[in-house]
Amino acid sequence: MASLRDIKQRITSTKKTSQITKAMEMTSAAKWNRGVMNAKAFVPYMEKIQEVTASIAIGSKGVNHPMLKARPVKKTGYIVITSDRGLAGAFNSNVIRRVNQTIQSRHKSNDEFAIITIGRVARDFFTKRGMNVALEIVGISDQPNFSDIKDLTSSTVGMFEDGTFDELYVFYNHYISAISQEVTEKKLLPLTDLTTSSKLTSYEFEPSAEEILEVLLPQYAESLIYGALLDSKASEHAARMTAMRNATDNAKELIKNYTLSYNRARQASITQEITEIVGGAAALE
């Protein structure tokens, strides 16, 4: 049985831990609120660029662009978005597990795929297992700007255009609510299912549709990656906030149990001392 001193030390250390987790919860809550606002603010831009791209690509006859056509798949690219650090519950492990299962079911060798990682956790996981990590980026800001990943997105889309990849997918946590995030797989390229929920608008444009799509399609594909990153960041902050809240609640429960054990042990010690005193007094009579 633990001594009174040991129990007291456990209570003190658990209280310190709960203070840390509470502070981390409050920090994540502030980041979560801003992250959700960033993700929502990006939606109108995404909807508009999708509408314009779809209107030109679908509404123009004879448009021929490699990003709009499926081709025989020899190599697949996977963009995996995780965080740079843990303490976020199952946020990272759920994405990595889904990607790993997908790769195992679709491919027989490392030559058939390549991985682009955003976040240290994904990079470390796939690198340690000798899987083909073609591009990586770590140290992304908690409130990322497009300039933070511009080089990576440009390189990734360029690898599809030059034939390095024949298709490209992104895996990330889609934000649903503060306590719910869903692992999502989205096909980025080729843009064979380019549609819009609204009625197609007829645009007058100069120069030709092909020249406009030559610029617009890569930007659209890059914006899809950035949108997934914003969505993932909102999910990350929500997951970490929830994880730290649960850790704080668990610490409080431990402190309660330790305090109860401490009081019982102290009471037993006092009772034993009284018994010894009474016994000694009786022996002197």
| Predicted local distance difference test score (pLDDT) of residue 48 | 86
Give mean pLDDT, residues 220-241.
94
> In degrees rounded to 5, what are phi and psi of residue 3?
-75, 165
| Predicted local distance difference test score (pLDDT) of residue 140 | 92
User: 1-5, 74-78, 172-176, 247-251: lowest mean pLDDT where?
Assistant: 1-5
More confident: 108 or 207: 108
pLDDT beyond 80 at 242: yes
- Which has the closest alpha carbon to 65: 182, 194, 200? 194
- Which has the closest alpha carbon to 88: 263, 220, 238, 274? 238
pLDDT beyond 80 at 276: no
How many helices (H) and strands (E) are present in the chain, helices listed first? 5, 5
| Predicted local distance difference test score (pLDDT) of residue 97 | 96
pTM reported for the whole predicted model: 0.87
pLDDT beyond 90 at 282: no
More confident: 55 or 135: 135
Tens of pLDDT, residue by residue over 58-116, are 766 656 777 888 889 999 999 999 999 988 999 999 999 999 999 999 988 889 999 99
Which of 23-27, 206-210, 263-267 has the highest mean predicted lDDT (pLDDT)?
A: 23-27
Q: What's the distance, CA 24 to chain centroid?
A: 17
Would you say the CATH fold of 31-240 matches that of 4-22+243-280? Answer: no
| Predicted local distance difference test score (pLDDT) of residue 49 | 85
More confident: 112 or 272: 112
What does the domain layout of the chain look like in residue ranges?
A: 4-22+243-280, 31-240
Q: State the chain's mean pLDDT as an integer.
A: 88
| Predicted local distance difference test score (pLDDT) of residue 60 | 64
The tokens describing 65, both together, are 């662009």
Q: What architecture is the 31-240 domain classified under in CATH? A: 3-Layer(aba) Sandwich (3.40)
Task: Using alpha carbons only, give the angle 58, 64, 66 rounded to the nearest 5 degrees.
Answer: 105
| Predicted local distance difference test score (pLDDT) of residue 252 | 93
| Predicted local distance difference test score (pLDDT) of residue 201 | 63
User: 90-94, 263-267, 269-273: lowest mean pLDDT where?
Assistant: 269-273
User: 51-55, 97-101, 218-222: lowest mean pLDDT where?
Assistant: 51-55
Q: Residue 200: count other Cβ atoms within 10 Å of its Cβ.
A: 13
Residue range 4-22+243-280, CATH number:
1.10.287
